Structure 1
Amino acid sequence: MGMSSVTTESKNIYRVQGFTCAGCAAKFEKNVKELPGVEDAQVNFGASKLTVYGETSIDNLEKAGAFEGLKIYPEKQQRALEKEPFWKKKTTRTTAVSALFLLAGWLAGEYYGEGSSSSVLLYLVSICIGGYSLFRKGIRNLVRLDFDMSTLMTVAILGAAAIGEWGEGATVVFLFAISEALESYSMEKARQSIRSLMEIAPKEATIRRGDTDLQIPVGDIQIGDIMIVKPGQKIAMDGIVIGGKSTVNQAAITGESIPVKKELEDDVFAGTLNEEGLLEVKVTKRVEDTTISKIIHLVEEAQAEKAPSQAFVDRFAKYYTPAIMILALGIIVIPPLFLGGDWGEWVYRGLAVLVVGCPCALVISTPVSIVTAIGNAAKNGVLIKGGLHLEEAANLSIIAFDKTGTLTKGVPTVTDFVRIQGPEDKELLAIAAAIEKGSQHPLASAIVRKADQHVSDIANWKVDEFTSITGKGAKAVVNDQLYFIGSPRLFQELLPNGIDTGLNESIELLQLQGKTVMVLGTEKEVMALIAVADEIRTSSKEVIQKLRSLGITKTVMLTGDNRATGEAIGEQVDIHEVKAELLPEQKLQAIKELKTNGKVAMVGDGVNDAPALAVADLGIAMGGAGTDVALETADIALMGDDLSKLPFTISLSRKTLTIIKQNIAFALLIKLVALLLIVPGWLTLWIAIFADMGATLIVMLNGMRLLRVKR
C-alpha cells in the first residue's frame, strides 16, 4: 500500500484487520503512540478500530502493526472487511503443517527410539514452522524485558528444546497455535453482531432529481434529496415521508417484530425494510448522521469502555505475568542451588509454570462476554453504552418510571370538556387551543387536536404574550383578554378565594377516573374544565410483574400529574409507589432519595427527564430511535417504544455478570490447580498448555452463550 497521509485534523479513525488477542491490541496502541506526529492513540479491540490524535500515514500505522500483520484503512472508506475463510488463513496452514511434522516426529520416535536424530529433526521443523511468528514477537519482547504471553511461551519452548524435551516443545507450539486461533475466531464471532448492523443499510439509493431517477452512492446524497423506495427495498437514509403509504419493518433499528404503518410526515430510518407501497422520502440526515450510523458508533464505543470486571482483570494481569516469571525462575534456581535438586528436573518444572501461567483465558474472559452481550442487545433494539452500564443494570434494586410516554403511550386525548361559565363551548375550546399552540407539553397537543376537530378558525385567534408557567401551565393574552390554563393547583393559587368546593369535587371525580384535569379561566374566575387521559401501554403491567419476578424490590412512578390521576394509573399497572405533582427538580430530588436505599434506574423519554436520567445510577431512555437526546443522555436506550425490552435488558446484564464471574473464577482456578500439580511433579509441558487452551476455549464458549439470551 502506498503512502497515504492522514488529514490535518487532529482526530482520525481507522478500521484494523488482523487482531488476534487483546495483548496484541495493547502493544499496537503503544507502538502507534510512539510514532512521530502522533499525540495520542486509542485502540478499540472489540470493534477493531484505531483512533489517532495527530498526523501520520497509513504506511506508518501498518509498520507499527507489522508484528501482527495488521491492515489499516480509514473508517469512512466504503470497504468491507476481508472475510478470509478460517482454513485459508496463513496461521491455519502453518499450524496444520506443524501438526504433520509433530506427528511424523512422534512416529519416528516410536520407530527409531525417543531422542533419535530423525525425531529431533522433525520436532525442530515442527517448532520452527508453527512457532515462527510467536518467536519473532517473543524474542523481541524478551530483549525489551516486556513480559507478555509471547514472552512466556517463547522462553518455555526454547527451554524445553535446551533440556532435550523436543517433543513436548513441539506439542506446546502446536497447542498454543490452536489456542490463539480459537481466541481470534471467538472475537470475530462476537464482532459479527456489530458487523451485521454495519451491513444493514444499502450502499446506494434511488434519488429523484427533476424528472430523472438516479442510482447514487449514499455518501453523495444531500439533505433535502427525494429518495424513491420501492416495495421490498431497504431504506438507505433517514428521512420523512412526503409521498405514498406503506408498512415498514423496523426490526433492525427498534427490535419491533411487527411492521409499522408509514404515512405522510412519518419518520423512516436507514436500514429498515419497505414492505408494501412505494414511498417518496425527503432525506433529513447525511449518511454519517443516520440513526443506524449513530447506533453502530455508540455500540462500538461501548465495547471500548471497560467494565469494572475488565478493569480488575487488566490490573491483575499487569502484575500477574511478571509474578509468573519470578515464580518460574525461583522454581528453576532455588531447589538445585539450596536443596540439592536435579537441574534438569527443576528447569522442566519451571518451564511448565511459564506455560500454565500464560493468562490467555483470563485476558479474554471479560471482553468476549461484553462484546457478545452488547451486540446481542443491539440486535434486539437495546443500545447499551458500555460495559459499565451493562454491569450496573445487573445490580439494580429500584426502578423509577416517568408516566407520560413510558408507562402510558404518551398520546393523550381530551375525554371531557365541562363549561362552567363565560363564552360558549367552541369559543372556550378555541381560546384553550390558541394558548396551547405555544406549549410543548403533551397535554397541550391533545387540546389542539380536539379543537381542530370542532373549531374551523383557530388560526384567526390572536395570541400575545404567551408565557409558560413551569410545572403548572401557561398564560397568554387572547383577543386582548388575559387567560390562564393549567393545573387546578395554579388556579388555587391564582384565584382570590381559590377554587370553590363544588368545583373541587368535580375535579376530584375526574381525577379518580385516571384523568388529568386542566382548568381554563382568568385571574378572577374558572371558565372550563378540560379532562385529558393518556392510554396505558398494554405491556406496562406485565413488565412491572416481570421486574418483580427478577427481584426488583421497588418500582416507583414519578409524574408531574395530580395525585389522583397518578394513583389511578399506578393501581392499574400495579406499581409499588406513586410520587405525583413533581416539578423537574423534584423528580431529580426523588431519585437522590431513592438512591439511599439501593441502585436506582430512571426510565423516561430522554427529553423532559434528562436531569433525573443523569442523576440516577442508570438512565434508561424510551423510544431512542431518531431521538438524538435519548441516544446522547441515556446510559441505555430502548430503541422502540417497547417497555418489554427492560426485563430483557436486566436479564441479559445479570447473565453477563454471572458469566464474567464464572470465567474469571474458572481461569484462575485452573491455573491454581495446574500449579499445585508442580509439587508432586505431575505437571508436564503438554498438560500445562492443554490446560491453558482448554480454559481459553471454555471461557470463550461460555461467553458466547450470551448470544442465546432472547427477549
Structure 2
Amino acid sequence: MHSHSHPCRCGKSHSKPQPLCAIRSVSPTALKISVAMPATPENGCGCCDNDSGSPGGESDDGSDRPALSSHQFRWQITGMDCPSCARKIENAVQQLPQVRSAQVIFASEKLVVDAHQDIRSAIETAVKKVGFTLTSNDLPSQPAIPNRWRENASLLVLTVMMLASVLLSQVAPAWGDRLFVVTTLIGLAPIALSAGKLLRGGSPFSIETLMTIAAAGALVIGAHAEAAMVLLLFQLGERLESYAAARARRGVTALMALRPDRATRLTGHQREQIALADLRLGDVIEVAAGGRLPADGELLNLNASFDESALTGESVPVVRQPGEAVMAGATSVDRLVTLKVISQPGQSAIDRILQLIEEAESHRAPVERFIDRFSRLYTPAIMLLALLVMVMPPLIAGAAWLPWIYKGLTLLLIGCPCALVISTPAAITSGLAAAARQGALIKGGAALERLSRIQTMAFDKTGTLTVGKPQVTQVEAFSAREENALLRIAAAVEQGSSHPLALAILQEAERRQLRLPQAQYQQTLAGSGIRAQIEGITYQLLAPRDVSELTEDQQQAIAQREAQGQTVVVLLQQQTVLGTLALQDQLREEAVSALAQLKALGINSLMLTGDNPRAAAAIATELNIEYRAGLLPADKVEAVRKLGQQQSLAMVGDGINDAPAMKAASMGIAMSSGTDVALEAADAALTQNRLTLLPRTVVLARRTRAIIRQNIAIALGLKGIFLVTTLLGVTGLWLAVLADSGATALVTANALRLLRQR
C-alpha cells in the first residue's frame, strides 16, 4: 500500500502535512492536543513535531535539537495572579520524577507538560498543593466578572485595622500595640499558609516565605507596628500586580473576538448559519460587505477589496483577485464575497497570531522579582547566622547564654528585610505613578526595569510613526480644469463610500469648503475604483493600472509619486483623463524630534512594517532610520527575535499584527490610538498618543533603576554596619529597631523623589 508523501521545509517528507514547518503559509499548530490528553509525535522532524514543550523549540540540554517526549499534556490554570506564580507552578510540577519538562505560558494561562508517562492526576494534585487549580479548558474563556469587594477584602480589613491601631496607640499605647499584634497575625495567616504550601511544593524561599519570616521576626523583637505595615504594603502590591496581569491577559480574548462566532455556509443554492467550529476545509462561505472572515479563504468569482490592517498593518484596503488567499479577521470593504475555506478550525490567521503570542511568551524567561531571588540567600544566611550567634559562643567558649541570645535576636531583626522589601516596590510605585502622570501607562515594575535597559526601539509605521489616516497630498489637473473643480467632481463621485481613500478625498473637499454636485448611479468597480454620473456625464475614479488612456508623461508623473510612497487615483470623464489625486499617510508631527531625543539617549530606531516598500522607504528617509517592509506578523516576530539576541529591544506599535512582536521583544509599547489587542498585549501604553513621551519615559525608567540600586545599597549597607556593631557589642536591640525603621524611612523618601520629575 502506497502512501502519499508531502515535502516539508525541514528537508523531510511526511505521510501527512506538518503545518509548523511553514507558519506563514499554513497553521503553526502541528499537533492538535486536546486538554489533558497525550499527544505522541509521529515523525522524526523536530520542527514539525514540537509544539510548545520547550521554550524556543530547544531541548533540555540547550542544543537546537527539539525536545520530544512520549506524552504531552495541556491545562488551563486558575488562580494565577502574577508572573512569579509561573515559576512556583513549574517548580511544583518538576518535582515529579516522571516529568521531563514543565512550562507555564503566562499570557494565556496554560500549563504544558512533557512526561514519560500518563501522570495527569499527579500533576493536578501537585499544582493544587501550591494553591492553584488546573481546568479542562484548552482555550481561554471569557473572564468572569470579578467581585472587587471579595478580591480586596483582606486588603481592606488590614487597612482598617492598621488605621485603628495607629489611632488607638495615640490614646492607649499598650492597647494600640496589642492591636498591632492582632493586625499582624490576621495579615500574616494567609501568607504563612501559602508559604507552607510552596515549601512543600519545592519553593522554600518564595516571597511568601520572606514575608512570613520578616513579619514573624518583627513580632519576636517587638516591632509590631512595623510588622503590620510591611504586610499591608505587601498586600497592596500583590493586588496591583494581579490587576495589571489580568488586564494584560484579556488581550488574548480580545484577539479571539476578531473572528465571528458563526459563518454563512453555502450548500448549492441554500444558505445556513453554522458555528465556527463546524467549518471544514473546502466549505464555501459567504461574507457580507463590512463583515469579517471567520476562516482563511480563497476568493471565488469577482475581485474584491479587503481591509487587512488588523493583520498586516497595510494602511489602505488591498484588492484581491479570484484564486487569491484572504486571511481570517480581514474585513470585506465593498461587496458581498464568496470564498472557499482553506484552513481547519483552530488553524486560521488569527489562531496563528495567538500561537505566536504564546510562543513569544515562552522565549522570555519567567519574571522574577528581585526580592524573591535575593531572599533565597539573604534570609536563610541571616537566620543561620543568628542561630549560630545564639548557641556557638556558649557551647564552644562557655560564654553566658543570655547576652548571646540577645545578640542573636538583634541579628534576627537585622535579618528582617523590612527596608529591603519596601525599597524596590516604593521606587517602582513612585516611578509608575510619575509615568502615568506624564502620559505613559507601564504595566508593572518588571516592565519599568526592562525599559531602562532598552538599546533599540523598533517601530511599526502605520498609526505609530504615521497618523494612520491617508490624506490628499496633491491634486493635479491634466485638462483646463482647476484643482478645486477636479476635487469637487472626485468628492461627489465618492460620496457615501466608506473606503479610506474616499473618506480622505471627502475630507479634503470639506476642508476647502467646496460645494459638491449631486452624483447618481454610483457603482463600485471591484478592485479598480468607482463610477458615477453627474448631470448625465459619467465620471470614474480608477487605479492607474486600469487606465489605458494615460500618456507617457502622465505615467512618469504618477510613477514618481508612487516612488515617494503615495497612492494615486485617476479621474476620467467618459474616456478622457482629467487629472490625478495623490494620497499619503502623514508622518506624526513629533516623530522626527522624538527619534532624535531617543538617539541622544543612545537608543537606535528601526521601522518594521507590513506596508509596501515604497511607502516605507519614503517615511524611513524622512526619519533617517533603517526599515524593513512587507512583513507579516510572523516576519516581525522573527526580525525582533534576531535583533533581540544582539541587544535589548522594544517594539512600538498599535495594531493587532504588532502584538506577537511586542511579546517577542524585551518590551512592548502600544500607542493609545491602537487596537485593544495591542494595548493589552503591550508592557506599556502611551495614553496621550505622543511619541515624545517615549524619551521622557526612558529617562524616568533609568532614574527608577538608579534609585532602586540606591535603596538596596542603603538597606543592605545599614544592615551590614549593624551586623558588625552588634557582634562587637556596640549596638543593641533598640538601636537595631531604630536602624531598621530608619532605613525604611530613608528608602521610602528616596523613592518619592521620582514623583517630582517634570
Q: TM-score, normalised by structure 1?
A: 0.54
Residue 220 (str. 1) matches residue 283 (str. 2): no
How far does the alpha carbon of each residue in 1:286-338 deviate from its partner, in whole angstroms, 9 at most, with x for none? 3432222222222233233337xx89x78996456413543566579769979
How far does the alpha carbon of each residue in 1:142-161 deviate from its partner, in whole angstroms, 9 at most, with x for none? 68782231122111222233
CA spacing shift, 1:513–1:77, aligned 2, 3 Å = closer
Question: What is the deviation of 1:73?
Answer: 3.4
Where 1:51 maps in the other structure, the secondary structure is: strand
Counterpart in 2 of 1:63?
Answer: 125
Which runs of 5 or more residues in structure 2 are unaligned? 1-33, 41-70, 394-398, 441-446, 461-542, 549-555, 564-581, 608-613, 671-677, 679-688, 723-734
Counterpart in 2 of 1:549?
Answer: 596
Where 2:421 maps in the other structure, the secondary structure is: coil
Question: What is the deviation of 1:141?
Answer: 5.5
Partner amino acid, structure 2, of 1:65: V
Question: What is the deviation of 1:237?
Answer: 2.0
Alignment of 1:411-430 (within 5 A): none
Confirm or deny: 8 A CA contact 1:130 1:173 kept in the other structure.
yes
Residue 230 (str. 1) matches residue 288 (str. 2): yes
CA spacing shift, 1:556–1:105, aligned 2, 3 Å = closer
Counterpart in 2 of 1:667?
Answer: 708
Of residues 66, 86, 94, the one that matches 1:33 is: 94
Residue 603 (str. 1) matches residue 623 (str. 2): no
Alignment of 1:102-501 (within 5 A): 102-105=162-165, 109=169, 113-114=173-174, 120=178, 122-123=179-180, 125-139=182-196, 146-242=204-300, 249-255=307-313, 260=317, 264-265=321-322, 267-274=325-332, 277-306=335-364, 318=373, 321-327=376-382, 330=385, 347=409, 350-351=412-413, 353-358=416-421, 361=424, 394-395=455-456
CA spacing shift, 1:152–1:390, aligned 2, 3 Å = closer
Tell me the distance in 2 between the aligned counterparts of 1:58 and 1:324. Answer: 35
Tell me the distance in 2 between the aligned counterparts of 1:87 and 1:182. Answer: 14
Where 1:301 maps in the other structure, the secondary structure is: helix
Residue 7 (str. 1) matches residue 33 (str. 2): no
Where 2:328 maps in the other structure, the secondary structure is: coil
CA spacing shift, 1:158–1:222, aligned 2, 3 Å = same
Question: What is the deviation of 1:135?
Answer: 0.4
Question: What is the deviation of 1:26?
Answer: 0.8
Alignment of 1:545-694 (within 5 A): 549=596, 603-605=628-630, 661-676=702-717, 681=736
Tell me the distance in 1 between the aligned counterparts of 2:426 and 2:83. Answer: 7
Where 2:346 maps in the other structure, the secondary structure is: helix
Partner amino acid, structure 1, of 2:418: V
Confirm or deny: 8 A CA contact 1:207 1:228 kept in the other structure.
yes
Tell me the distance in 2 between the aligned counterparts of 1:299 and 1:183. Answer: 21
Where 1:84 maps in the other structure, the secondary structure is: coil
Please say which of residues 672-681 and 330-339 is displaced more in the overlay: 330-339
Counterpart in 1 of 2:146?
Answer: 84
Question: What is the deviation of 1:638?
Answer: 14
CA spacing shift, 1:657–1:221, aligned 2, 3 Å = farther
CA spacing shift, 1:165–1:100, aligned 2, 3 Å = same
Partner amino acid, structure 1, of 2:348: T
Partner amino acid, structure 2, of 1:94: S
Partner amino acid, structure 1, of 2:236: I
Counterpart in 2 of 1:499?
Answer: none
Tell me the distance in 1 between the aligned counterparts of 2:590 and 2:153. Answer: 52
CA spacing shift, 1:85–1:109, aligned 2, 3 Å = same
Where 1:213 maps in the other structure, the secondary structure is: strand
Where 1:357 maps in the other structure, the secondary structure is: helix
Query: Over aligned residues, Cα RMSD in angstroms?
Result: 6.7
Q: Percent same amino acid among aligned pairs?
A: 21
Tell me the distance in 1 between the aligned counterparts of 2:560 and 2:35. Answer: 69
Tell me the distance in 1 between the aligned counterparts of 2:168 and 2:362. Answer: 49
CA spacing shift, 1:695–1:188, aligned 2, 3 Å = farther
Tell me the distance in 1 between the aligned counterparts of 2:199 and 2:326. Answer: 56
Tell me the distance in 2 between the aligned counterparts of 1:104 and 1:619. Answer: 46
Counterpart in 1 of 2:727?
Answer: none
Where 1:208 maps in the other structure, the secondary structure is: strand
Tell me the distance in 2 between the aligned counterparts of 1:572 and 1:96. Answer: 52
Confirm or deny: 8 A CA contact 1:11 1:51 kept in the other structure.
yes
Tell me the distance in 2 between the aligned counterparts of 1:573 and 1:216. Answer: 46
How far does the alpha carbon of each residue in 1:258-307 deviate from its partner, in whole angstroms, 9 at most, with x for none? 66265653654333445654333332223432222222222233233337
Residue 93 (str. 1) matches residue 134 (str. 2): no
Question: What is the deviation of 1:572?
Answer: 11
How far does the alpha carbon of each residue in 1:456-481 deviate from its partner, in whole angstroms, 9 at most, with x for none? xxxxxxxxxxxxxxxxxxxxxxxxxx
Question: What is the deviation of 1:613?
Answer: 6.7
CA spacing shift, 1:4–1:289, aligned 2, 3 Å = closer
CA spacing shift, 1:327–1:573, aligned 2, 3 Å = closer
Question: What is the deviation of 1:12?
Answer: 3.5
Partner amino acid, structure 1, of 2:190: S
Question: What is the deviation of 1:40?
Answer: 0.8
CA spacing shift, 1:389–1:162, aligned 2, 3 Å = closer
Question: What is the deviation of 1:28?
Answer: 0.8
Tell me the distance in 2 between the aligned counterparts of 1:675 and 1:634. Answer: 33
Q: TM-score, normalised by structure 2?
A: 0.52
Which runs of 5 or more residues in structure 1 are unaligned? 378-385, 400-448, 455-508, 517-534, 558-565, 578-599, 640-644, 703-711
CA spacing shift, 1:288–1:229, aligned 2, 3 Å = same
How far does the alpha carbon of each residue in 1:338-370 deviate from its partner, in whole angstroms, 9 at most, with x for none? 99989668736743642333399489979x99x
Counterpart in 2 of 1:492?
Answer: none
Where 2:100 maps in the other structure, the secondary structure is: strand
Where 2:300 maps in the other structure, the secondary structure is: strand
Confirm or deny: 8 A CA contact 1:358 1:692 kept in the other structure.
no
Question: What is the deviation of 1:698?
Answer: 11
Where 1:11 maps in the other structure, the secondary structure is: strand
Partner amino acid, structure 2, of 1:11: Q
Where 1:114 maps in the other structure, the secondary structure is: helix
Confirm or deny: 8 A CA contact 1:171 1:686 kept in the other structure.
no
Tell me the distance in 2 between the aligned counterparts of 1:215 and 1:96. Answer: 49
Of residues 111, 114, 123, the one that matches 1:50 is: 111
Tell me the distance in 1 between the aligned counterparts of 2:669 and 2:180. Answer: 56
CA spacing shift, 1:555–1:686, aligned 2, 3 Å = closer
Tell me the distance in 2 between the aligned counterparts of 1:48 and 1:695. Answer: 36
Partner amino acid, structure 1, of 2:192: F
